[in-house]
Each structure stands twice: as C-alpha cells, then as structure tokens.
Structure 1
Amino acid sequence: MKDVLARTPNVVSFGQNISTGSCLSGLTRGLPEGDGRLTVNTPNIENTQTGIGFGLMVEGVNGIFCLKQQDFLLLGIDHLVNSWNAIRSRNPQASFTVMAIVVDNGFEGPQSCLNNLPDFCSISRIPGYTISGKTDADRVIGRHLVAPGVRLIAVSQRIFRDEIIVPAGPETVVDEENEIVRYGNGDDLSVVAMNFALPQALQAMAGAKERGLEASLFTIAAAMPTRWDAIVDHVGKSGRLILLDDVKSLNRPSDRLLLDVAVRQKQARVHAVRRTADDSWAQPNADHLDINIETVFKEIGL
C-alpha cells in the first residue's frame, strides 16, 4: 500500500485510528502524505464514511476507506448499492476503495463473524478481492487499489498476522480479470483455494506430495469470479478436484464452480471442504475451516 500510494498523488485515506494506536494492527501505519495525500482519523460512522468515499470520487479525489471490521460495512450498504447506482453512469475516473479487515481469529462474538465478501459484492454489483498471500497482495494492491471506479478489498486478520504466504512451485497468472493464479504444473490433482482457505489448500498440496502426486494449486482473489475455464480445463486433465472454501455464505461462488465442473467434467472425482451453515456462525467459536486430509483423499479415490 505504501509503495502504491507513494506513486499516487491526490489520495485521501481515512478510517478509525488509521494513523494512531495500533493503526489497524499495523495495516495502515506510515501511509505517505504530501502531494495531495491526506490521512484522516475518523469516528465510528461507517455509513457516513462510505458516503464520503463516493463524494470524494465524484469530485475527482481518490479515496481509501480503511475499515477495522468487515461486519460494520453493513452500515454502508445503502451507499454501496444506491449511491453507486446513481454515480456509476457518470463513469467517474477517480477511485474509491473500501479495504476491510475480516476479524476471523476466533472466539470474537456475533459481530465478528462476516467473512463473506462475495455477498457484499453481489448486492452492490461492485467487484471485490480477497488477499491471502504475497501474489494476491502484489496483484490486488498494485492493480486495483487506486484504479478508476469502486472496489472492495478484504484481508484476513488471522492470515496477515502470520508470515506472508508464498506457495511453492512455478507461478502463472491464468486469468487476469478474475485474478486466478496457478502454482505448480502437476496434472495429477487440481486444488482450488477460495476466500481465505489458502492455508487449508496448502495442507492439501502437502498431502498430495506425500502420496507422490504432482498437483497444481489455483487461488482466486476475485470475490465474484465470472469464469473458471482454466480451472475446469485442468480438472479435465487431472480427473480430480479438491475445493476449499471458508466463506460463510449461502450464496457461494464455489457452488457455481462445482456446477461447471459437474457439467463439463462429468467423470471427475470431486471433494469440497466448506463451511456448514448453522447457528454456530453467530456464537463464539474457533472460526476455522477444518480439513481432514485422510478423508479428503479417500473421497477422491486416493
């Protein structure tokens, strides 16, 4: 973020405590200022903050709303849907980005349970991106943070407090628009990580290696991908798919990927590790997608 903002004049970054205290757990510490760059600490007024971002954009000023908890973006839904509908036809050339922290460390309570960026994107028809590893960060921040228009970006508190994740193997961007990246070049198994399930996907990759399999890992940073051709084609080669998706939603983009695979690769063995919809989402819990490696590989015949 610092590198991109240092190259971009005329940016207002704003949010609660973004330049004081913990600076959102360090996410916004030391943002560059000068040359039209401002950093503004605001109260907890998420609806107003979202409106300010659209107002800045209409006036030709780039805005970044740094939000300490994605749950409270619900308070800005009216602006994300209705204000943006009124503005989008003007084709504004300035940028407005909402960068939200997903509080997913576990045992946080009912107001810290939303990790479902796709739902925000679906209702607002605004593109969104999740950041789980180094390549995601480089591409999403580099390509989208201050691009013209509006987008939502979410980062996982659980993930970004650990060492940055750099999956092994050769790296290939197989879909620019949907930010799909392939790691490795094996054709024995297809592994797909969605939302913030990259750590679990790496467990699956390790399990494949232990079994002597050459696998490929696909990560999808786009919250609402529009196509999956590179993944579905690879499943046609490997004949096996392990899908990992930790999103807490009843409207999962991974459902559409599974349907596409079922229609186009009917013979493929598929196993999906995803959240179970129940009331535990709103109760203090570990907030972690569990994966049983033995069960996963048994389900795909290995």
Structure 2
Amino acid sequence: MNYIGYVNGLIRAKIAATPRLVTYGQNITAGSCLSGLTRGLTCGPDGRIIDTPNVENTLVGAGFGMMLRGINAIYFMKQQDFLLLGLDHLVNTYNLVRRTDPTASFSVVSIIVDSGFEGPQSSLNNFSDFCSMAHLPGYAITNRHDADLVIGRHLVAPGCRLIGVSQRLFGTELLGEDLTASPDRSGDILRYAEGNDATVVAFNFAFPQAQGLWASLGLGGRKSSLFSVPAILPTDWDLILADLARTRRLVIIDDSKSENRSSDRLLLEAYRSLGDIKVSRVCRDFTLDMLSPNPDMLAVEPGRVLAELGLA
C-alpha cells in the first residue's frame, strides 16, 4: 500500500465513526479529492461534508466558531502555504477560544509542498513556524506508525491542532511496515530501534532519510537507535535523551526550511543534559535556490555522518 492510500483509509474510518463532525474544504469530494487525501469520505451520525469556496481566512474562523458551539470540525487544506491567510485566527482568535477550555475539536489538515518548487506560493515547508507563532500543537505524518498515532489520537480530540501530510510521499510505498514502534508517554516521539553506536532522530518529513541512514549504518556493522518526532512542538525529550546518554552520538535529520527548528531545541537540551557528545546534523538553511525549480530533497551522506560521529 502507498502512503496516501493508508492515510486516506485512516481518515475515512475516523470521520465515518465520529458523530456531529463537520468536514470541509475546497474540492474535498470533487476532482482528485486533494490528490486522494479526502477520497471516499462519508459522514458519521449527524455529520456534514461540505465543499467550500477558496476563502481560507473565513474557513479557519468558521472552525473556531463551530468549536465554540461544541461542534467538532476538520478543515482540509490543499497546501499549507494558504494557511498564511488564516494566521490571524490561528493566533488571536484561538487565544480567546482556548481560555474557554473547549471540549470540541478543530483540526486543520494541510498538504505540505515538500516535493520541489511549484511556484512562489507552493514551496513553503515551515510547519514549525505556524505552530510556534500560534502556540498550537502540530503533527507530521511520514509512516504507518505515526499515521496511526496522529489520526487515532489527535484528528478528533478536544482543542485545536495542525496536522501535515507530505506531498513528496504521496505516491511512495508506505514506510514502517517492517518496523515496530513504541511512543513516549506524551505520544510526541516514536522509537523504532535501539542500538549502542548512535541515536538517529528524524524531524518534519525526514523519516525516509533517517531510516535509510539507520539501515546503512546497520549494513556497516553499526547498531543505532532510530526515532521520529511526529510532534512539531514536543513537550519533553526524555525518551531520546535517555538513549543518547548511552550512545553519546546524536544524528539529527530535519528537512524543514524553518529557522525555528524543533531539532535545534533537542540539540540544546542534549548539550545541557549530557555535555560532551558527538553530533552530526543533516539540515538545511534557506537559500534563493529554493525559489526556483529544484527537487527539494534533503540528501544524507553516510560517510560524512560517520566521520562527524568518530565512527569512520
């Protein structure tokens, strides 16, 4: 099964089983149904599915309005770039709503264009900036296990959150089928493997690169731990720090374009807690090349990682 087929199946099941849920967005039941993300949706009891005009600010505000009336809502957005138009509601309206301790759910599910430059309004890959500015939880879906966790636990739950899916992964085979995963106590971090030579951690949508590096290290006789961080703003790093206390070698792989990375917060906590550790960071900084046609693929060089960890 491919990535988008699996995510779509989880979403369809969750929506069909949830009463009094309003699901809405542009073309969610028409055309390609957001490239298959929303194909085949059916309502639960007393639910509604609505195809809307392209008015993002209004649609974000409508979700908060339904929240205040005790109605669960999911807004599917065809790309996260357009969520910029709803930032006033995400920041200021939700500051008012959250003080009421809402019992209803509002989720914004966006496709994140991480598959290469597709125009000046189709190249944003800064998930953590939205969450940081609005003090909102966010969750990235990259494989079977984090899809189960995020959709099962967070798609419909009291409060508001952002959920992102990777356009780059839409047509690829579903990852994680051959792995087991265990979450930390908050459900923000997943561990897939445990080893003594290094701690490999994937952020944003970089799980394919992290899993590839982990497998490459294993073929070379290096046994490493493998983690992903589906939460954009994790509440604590204890699970990773406990592993890093044993390996003393940290590999961070983060494919976001943000200058406000969660991976930087992990690195800070690692230095504060553990002092002298070896670190290899595979990240990127914004360049003008990102605003012209490019594959938008973060490349990992195992040889460089091994050298930086002192394992070459």
The question of a shared fold, defined as TM-score above 0.5 by the shorter chain, is answered with yes
Instruction: Provide the residue aligned with 1:76 in structure 2.
Output: 86
- Structure 1, residues 226-266: CA drift from partner, whole Å, max 9, x if none? 22111112111012111100111111111111111122222
SS of the residue corresponding to residue 110 of structure 1 reads: coil
Correspondences of 1:92-241 after superposition (within 5 Å): 92-166=102-176, 168-173=178-183, 175-241=184-250
Instruction: Provide the residue aligned with 1:38 in structure 2.
Output: 48
Aligned mates of 2:212, 2:36 — CA distance in 1: 28
Aligned mates of 1:45, 1:206 — CA distance in 2: 44
Residues 115, 178 of structure 1: alpha-carbon distance in 2 compared, 3 angstrom cutoff: farther
Q: 1:103, CA displacement in angstroms?
A: 1.4
Q: 1:289, CA displacement in angstroms?
A: 0.7
Task: Kindly indicate whether the alpha-carbon contact (under 8 Å) linking 2:199 and 2:224 is maintained by their aligned counterparts in 1.
Answer: yes
Which AA in structure 1 matches 2:218? K
Instruction: Provide the residue aligned with 1:59 in structure 2.
Output: 69
Aligned mates of 1:103, 1:38 — CA distance in 2: 28
Instruction: Provide the residue aligned with 2:100 in structure 1.
Output: 90
- Structure 1, residues 67-118: CA drift from partner, whole Å, max 9, x if none? 0000000000000011111111111111100000001221312211212211
SS of the residue corresponding to residue 164 of structure 1 reads: coil
Aligned mates of 2:117, 2:81 — CA distance in 1: 15
SS of the residue corresponding to residue 60 of structure 1 reads: coil
Task: Kindly indicate whether the alpha-carbon contact (under 8 Å) linking 2:259 and 2:285 is maintained by their aligned counterparts in 1.
Answer: no
Aligned mates of 1:178, 1:22 — CA distance in 2: 32
Aligned mates of 1:46, 1:205 — CA distance in 2: 40
Is 1:266–2:247 an aligned residue pair?
no
Which AA in structure 2 matches 1:43? P
For structure 2, the residue ranges without an aligned partner over 5 or more in a row are 1-10
RMSD across aligned positions (CA): 1.3
TM-score for both structures, normalised by structure 1 = 0.96
SS of the residue corresponding to residue 112 of structure 1 reads: coil
For structure 1, the residue ranges without an aligned partner over 5 or more in a row are none
Share of identical aligned residues, percent?
A: 50
Aligned mates of 1:167, 1:273 — CA distance in 2: 25
Instruction: Provide the residue aligned with 2:293 in structure 1.
Output: 284
Aligned mates of 1:44, 1:14 — CA distance in 2: 11
TM-score for both structures, normalised by structure 2 = 0.93
Aligned mates of 1:29, 1:170 — CA distance in 2: 28
Residues 34, 142 of structure 1: alpha-carbon distance in 2 compared, 3 angstrom cutoff: closer
Aligned mates of 1:108, 1:147 — CA distance in 2: 33
- Structure 1, residues 6-30: CA drift from partner, whole Å, max 9, x if none? 2211011111100010000111011
Alignment match of 2:263 (pick from 239, 254, 264): 254
| Greater shift in the superposed pair: 37-46 or 67-76 | 37-46
Task: Kindly indicate whether the alpha-carbon contact (under 8 Å) linking 1:168 and 1:183 is maintained by their aligned counterparts in 2.
Answer: no
Residues 9, 301 of structure 1: alpha-carbon distance in 2 compared, 3 angstrom cutoff: same
Instruction: Provide the residue aligned with 1:18 in structure 2.
Output: 28
Which AA in structure 2 matches 1:127? P
